Amino acid sequence: MTVHNIYIFDRYGTLLYYYEWNRLKQSGITREEEAKLMYGMLFSIKSFVNKISPLDTKDGFLCYKTSKYSLHFFETPSSIKFVLTTDVGAQNVRQFLQQIYSQIYVEYAVKNPVWQNNKPIKSELFKSKLDAFVKQSPIFVSKAN
Amino acid sequence: MVIYGVYIVSKSGGLIFNYECNVPKIETEKTFGYPLDLKLNYENKKIVVEFGQRDGVMVGHVLTAVNGIPATGRQLDDGRDVFDIINERENYPLSLKFARLRMTTNEKIFLASMFYPLFAIASQLSPEPRCSGIEVLEADTFKLQCFQTLTGVKFMVVAEPTQAGLDILLRRIYELYSDFALKNPFYSLEMPIRCELFDSNLQNLLEHVEKTGISNV
């Protein structure tokens, strides 16, 4: 089990935060363009899901899996989007994303006095707390171990 | 065991077959007082709820009847305009019926071709090398399983979120496709599948799956 990377987007599609743990392949484009591509894909998947769904959706899109990784999506009521890619076997990632939101994002990004809305998070404290939080979770078992 | 639909997309991204079953009808009829606490909007020749969902009337639902008189677009069957009625105070209380519309064929074609780029981007954004496209897409109301053959044809099944073993079903559908569509002398590649035998066999397969489960196919 492993965690590959995390993207946090705000409601306008700005990449607030990116961090990677075990990423073996880069997409071959700049980080900015990759973020735009990712946001665009999520935006389309969301509308795809709403249209193809046979019933009324509430949370809508949750995750997708490919042969090598799975992507988990969590959106807060204020449209902050948390995107975490893990290996295919990871369990309860949605709950984990919810915890990242309430225990890390709110505590160390939003409550930071110099935090600005819709601006990338530069706080070192946020970075280290998030890193520690992901590393102690059962989803994260580094391939090196 | 509920399967909502089967889609087959050709290698160039066009929808060549779709089968829909078990899609529940979602309708709510409610009596409203003045002023109407829903924001309705007229788009694509339909009156759609835009804001203010409550009591089963959800954003995205379409107005289908006013006081029991069916509405087509913004016109009632007796010729009156829906918005004229809604804006007049003396017409209240008003009983409005809303429904979640089923997808039209055009929308299905549109969605099928929309899946193609999503599939490709998912593999481009992969953090691991040599990754396939989307295999399973999960949402709170359904699960979509996709199987891409070596020749690039995509088979997709939309089912209940808890449904397991959809990959086996997809492989069975692929078998049916090769047996009854590809071996049909009148079938040309990349064209919509109109083969009676394929239709009937697929229907049998899905009925069988619904009754006895996927493990028996």
Considering the four listed CATH numbers 2.60.40.10, 3.30.450.70, 3.40.1380.10, 3.40.50.150, the one that applies to the domain covering B3-23+104-216 is 3.30.450.70
Look at residue B34 and tell me whether its pLDDT is greater than 60.
Answer: yes
Cα separation of B96 and B64, whole Å?
A: 8
Contact B64, B96 (CB under 8 A): no
pLDDT recorded at residue B207: 92
Strands (E), B21-128: 26-32, 39-43, 46-51, 62-66, 69-72, 75-76, 94-100
Taking CB atoms and an 8 Å cut-off, how many pairs form between chains A and B?
119
pLDDT recorded at residue A142: 57
Q: Which residues, numbered 23 to 52 in chain B, qualify as contacts with chain A under a Cβ-Cβ cut-off of 8 Å?
A: 23-24, 26
pLDDT recorded at residue A9: 96
Give the global pTM.
0.89
Count CA atoms within 13 Å of residue A43 on its CB side. 12
Residue A38 lies inside a defined structural domain of this protein: yes
B126-130: list long-range contacts, CB under 8 Å, 24+ apart: B126/A25, B126/A27, B126/A66, B126/A68, B126/A69, B127/A4, B127/A5, B127/A20, B127/A22, B127/A23, B127/A24, B127/A25, B127/A69, B127/A85, B128/A4, B128/A24, B128/A25, B128/A68, B128/A69, B129/A24, B129/A25, B129/A68, B130/A68
CB contact under 8 A, B118 and A45: yes
CB contact under 8 A, B141 and A53: yes
Q: Where are the domains of chain B?
A: 3-23+104-216, 26-100
Instruction: Tell me phi and psi for residue B69, to 5 degrees.
Output: -95, 120
pLDDT digits (tens, 9 = 90+) for B75-107: 888 888 988 888 888 888 888 999 988 888 999
For residue A119, the surrounding DSSP H or E stretch is none
Amino acid at B51: F
pLDDT recorded at residue A87: 92
Structure tokens at B134: 């989307």
pLDDT digits (tens, 9 = 90+) for A115-134: 988 899 999 999 999 999 99
pLDDT digits (tens, 9 = 90+) for B122-179: 999 999 999 999 999 999 999 999 999 999 999 999 999 998 889 999 999 999 999 9
Look at residue B36 and tell me whether its pLDDT is greater than 90.
Answer: no
Residue A143 binned pLDDT confidence (cut-offs 50, 70, 90): low
Q: Is A30 on the interface with B (CB under 8 A)?
A: no
Q: What residues in B contact A94, CB-CB < 8 Å?
A: none
Q: Which of B23, B130, B140 sits opposite A60 (nearest CB)?
A: B140
Contact B141, A53 (CB under 8 A): yes
CB contact under 8 A, B139 and A58: no
**Range of the structural domain that residue A72 is part of:** 3-136
Structure tokens at B124: 């481009």
* Arithmetic mean of pLDDT, A33-45: 95
Q: Is B118 on the interface with A (CB under 8 A)?
A: yes
Residue A145 binned pLDDT confidence (cut-offs 50, 70, 90): very low
Cα separation of A64 and B136, whole Å?
A: 5
Contact A94, A63 (CB under 8 A): yes
Residue A109 lies inside a defined structural domain of this protein: yes
Contact B96, B71 (CB under 8 A): no
Instruction: Tell me phi and psi for residue A22, to 5 degrees.
Output: -115, 80
Cα separation of A88 and A61, whole Å?
A: 17
Same topology, domains B3-23+104-216 and B26-100? Answer is no
Q: Is A92 on the interface with B (CB under 8 A)?
A: no
Residue appearing with tokens 């006095």: A113
Q: Give A104's contacts (C-beta < 8 A, 6+ positions apart).
A: A126, A129, A130, A133
How many domains does the structure of chain A reveal? 1
Q: Which of A54, A56, A66 sits opposite B132 (nearest CB)?
A: A66
Residue A116 lies inside a defined structural domain of this protein: yes
What is the rounded radius of gyration, in angstroms, for the C-alpha atoms of chain B? 22
Residue A142 lies inside a defined structural domain of this protein: no
CB contact under 8 A, B141 and A56: yes
Distance from CA of B210 to the nearest CA of A (A): 17
CB contact under 8 A, B126 and A41: no
Structure tokens at B32: 């409203």
Chain B contact probe: residue of A52, A53, A61, A142 with most B CBs at under 10 A? A52
**Assigned CATH for B26-100:** 2.30.42.40
Residue A144 lies inside a defined structural domain of this protein: no
pLDDT recorded at residue B216: 72
Q: What residues in A contact B117, CB-CB < 8 Å?
A: 44
pLDDT digits (tens, 9 = 90+) for A58-85: 889 999 999 999 999 999 999 999 999 9
pLDDT recorded at residue B72: 86
CATH number for A97: 3.30.450.70
A23-27, A141-145, B16-20: the lowest-pLDDT one:
A141-145
